[in-house]
Amino acid sequence: MPKPKGANKELYAASHARLLAAATRLFEARGYGAVTTEEIAAEAGLAHGSLFHHYKSKHAMFVAVHDAYQAALIERIEAAAAALCDPGDRFDRVWRAYLGSTEDAGMRRVLLLDGPRVIGLEALRARDRETAFAYFAGQVEAMMDAGLMPRRDVRALSVLLFGALDQAAFEIADFPDDQTLRAALVEAVAATIDALKRP
């Protein structure tokens, strides 16, 4: 398919954005399995056939929505920690912001509930290594560099902590209304990290 030029390029970009926004709204509200490509096109105000000029499949659309959510989550976490200079305070803000993101219904649905099923855990882990995990490992290393944690293998420790946070997030996503569970998980993560810090 030839690339759009000039005004057509602008029209293409606008249609692309409308489809992504429509897919995001529908996937957030009802989940991947309950949404059809016909509904996405109708929500975007476009013909069904035009959807496939932008995305090869519903799966490809979900991946785009998921990636946008992942980028937004990292931006949210970075913004939460940006004003803090102390690595310990930054690290605390980072993991708390991640677990706090589970209060967002869209984040919960797209990243935690549908993401592993639709994209697959292997593919998600590969994506995370270059994005969320890479950022998290950098924060762990900063803690060690500042002397707030004993020097250990950064990757190994980051894998363990990242996995614990992910599992806590998945559990919260499964039981979003259980505030007692949420508080207990946050407390347990805090205690685990405190135990790893240099006395």
> Quick one: pLDDT at residue 137?
95
Residue 119: count of CB within 10 angstroms of its CB = 18
Query: Is pLDDT at 74 greater than 50 in this prediction?
Result: yes
Q: pLDDT, tens digit, for every residue of 134-190?
A: 989 999 999 999 999 999 999 999 999 999 999 999 999 999 999 999 999 999 999
Tell me the C-alpha distance between 179 and 199, whole Å: 31
Report residue 1's pLDDT band, with 50, 70 and 90 as the boundaries.
very low
Query: Is pLDDT at 2 greater than 60 in this prediction?
Result: no
CATH architecture of 1-55: Orthogonal Bundle (1.10)
For residues 41 and 19, is the Cβ–Cβ distance under 8 A?
yes
| This model's pTM is above 0.75 | yes
Q: pLDDT, tens digit, for every residue of 114-139?
A: 999 999 989 988 888 888 899 899 99
CATH number of 59-196: 1.10.357.10
For the chain, what are the domain ranges?
1-55, 59-196
Average pLDDT over residues 74-81: 88
